[in-house]
């Protein structure tokens, strides 16, 4: 998953403060990891997943095909860990609404213990809006959802947990870097039979994934455990209310500033490339 803690406290959303930082960054983006600069290279050394049984890959393939729908939306309740001022392990909860219109539209609404944030991508720019302060920032980007997220992470440190589920190839993205894995068993979630899987991902992550035991294999729960960080913290997400039937118009992804909203500049992370409207090449 793209929630590897490889980003130091990189994102600075001017005037948005702690809430937007925590909402938009990976579950432990603020962790000071000595391996953060080396992690992208480690992730690039993906295995062919020979250690993952063919049956498991086939089920994840079903999940991937389902999530490649042109339009879909889902909700997520998350609980994530972050380091307190004295190094203590603290937790914060959020509710997330995600809407995808492939290939280049994305809407994410996040509300939780520290406020509300909205992200809208209309194929031309990404807007991040902090509702509590009535402030927003805009990043000119073009390209598919994957390309936009890669560009936003490179320039600003912005990352989205659960991003593999709405990447162009969800199954391939999820298995990227996985070195072993298999089925733990079968469980029932909200009266729906599900398969429960466990995976190890280089260099220091454990992934637990629950998907529906049917032809769609819709994901219902995800847990990420960070083995190299103190306390082995986790990111936990319960996924629900999947909708693959509702079509979404382009207008649903265009930001309309509320009355009195103030536009602020998104601070570039140190060492980031200069801003360009060009999308990264695949």
Q: How many domains does the chain fold into?
A: 1
What is the reported pLDDT for 87? Answer: 80
pLDDT digits (tens, 9 = 90+) for 223-267: 999 898 888 889 999 999 999 999 999 999 999 999 999 999 876
Q: Domain containing 115 — which CATH number?
A: 2.50.20.10
* Proportion of the chain above pLDDT 70, given as a percent: 75
Q: What is the mean pLDDT of residues 180-194?
A: 97
Task: Kindly indicate the confidence band of residue 1, based on its pLDDT and cuts at 50, 70 and 90.
Answer: low
- Which tens digits make up the pLDDT trace of 67-83? 999 999 999 999 998 87
272: in domain: no
* Residue 131: per-residue pLDDT: 93
pLDDT of residue 33: 34
Look at residue 7 and tell me if it is in a domain. Answer: no
b/e sequence 99-133, b meaning 16+ C-beta within 10 Å: bbbbebbbbbbbbbebbbbbbbbbbebbbbbbbeb
Write the secondary structure of the chain as one string of H (helix), E (strand) and C (coil).
CCCCCCCCCCCEECCCHHHHHHHHCCCCCCCCCCCCCCHHHHHHCCCCCCCCCHHHHHHHHHHHHHHCCCEEEEEEEEEEEEECCCCCEEEEEEEEEEEEECCCEEEEEEEECCEEEEEEECCCEEEEEECCCCEEEEEECCCCHHHHHHHHHHHHCCCCCCHHHHCCCHHHHHHCCEEEEEEEEEEEECCEEEEEEEEEECCCEEEEEEEECCCCCCEEEEEEEECCCCCCCEEEEEEEEEECCCCCCHHHHCCCCCCCCEECCEECCCCCCCCCCCCCCC
Structural domain for 110, as ranges: 12-36+45-265
Range from 28-37, 60-69, 178-187, 265-274 carrying the lowest mean pLDDT: 28-37
In a domain, 270, yes or no: no
Is 274 part of any domain? no
Given pLDDT bands bounded at 50, 70 and 90, which one contains residue 275? very low
Whole-prediction pTM = 0.80
Residue 135 lies in a domain: yes
Q: What pLDDT is stored for residue 224 in this prediction?
A: 92
* pLDDT for the residue numbered 90: 92
Instruction: Report the pLDDT averaged over residues 80-97.
Output: 89
Is 180 among the domain residues?
yes
Residue 281 located in a structural domain: no
Has residue 192 been placed in a domain?
yes
Asked if pLDDT for residue 212 goes beyond 60, the answer is yes
Q: What is the structure's pLDDT at 94?
A: 94
pLDDT at 259: 96
Task: Give the closest residue to 202 by CA, choosing from 39, 11, 65, 2.
Answer: 39
Q: How many CB atoms lie within 10 A of CB 230?
A: 11
């Amino acid at each position: 998953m793209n929630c590897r803690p490889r980003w130091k406290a990189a994102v600075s959303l001017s005037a948005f403060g702690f809430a937007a930082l925590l909402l938009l960054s990976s579950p432990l983006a603020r962790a000071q990891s000595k391996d953060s600069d080396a992690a992208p290279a480690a992730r690039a050394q993906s295995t062919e997943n020979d250690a993952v049984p063919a049956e498991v890959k086939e089920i994840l393939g079903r999940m991937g095909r389902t999530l490649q729908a042109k339009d879909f939306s889902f909700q997520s309740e998350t609980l994530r860990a972050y380091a307190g001022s004295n190094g203590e392990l603290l937790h914060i909860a959020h509710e997330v609404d995600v809407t995808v219109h492939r290939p280049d539209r994305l809407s994410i609404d996040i509300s939780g213990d520290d406020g509300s944030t909205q992200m809208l991508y209309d194929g031309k720019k990404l807007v991040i809006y902090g509702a509590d302060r009535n402030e927003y920032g805009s990043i000119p980007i073009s390209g598919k959802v994957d390309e936009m997220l890669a560009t936003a992470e490179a320039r600003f440190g912005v990352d989205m947990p659960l991003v593999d589920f709405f990447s162009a190839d969800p199954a391939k993205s999820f298995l990227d870097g996985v070195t072993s894995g298999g089925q733990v068993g079968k469980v029932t979630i909200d009266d729906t039979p599900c398969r429960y899987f466990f995976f190890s991902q280089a260099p220091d992550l454990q992934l637990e994934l629950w998907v529906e035991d049917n032809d769609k294999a819709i994901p219902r729960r995800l847990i990420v455990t960070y083995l190299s960080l103190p306390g082995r913290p986790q990111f936990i997400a319960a996924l629900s209310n999947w909708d693959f039937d509702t079509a979404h118009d382009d207008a649903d992804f265009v930001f309309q500033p509320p009355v009195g909203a103030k536009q602020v500049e998104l601070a570039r992370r140190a060492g980031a490339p200069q801003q360009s409207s060009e999308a990264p090449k695949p």
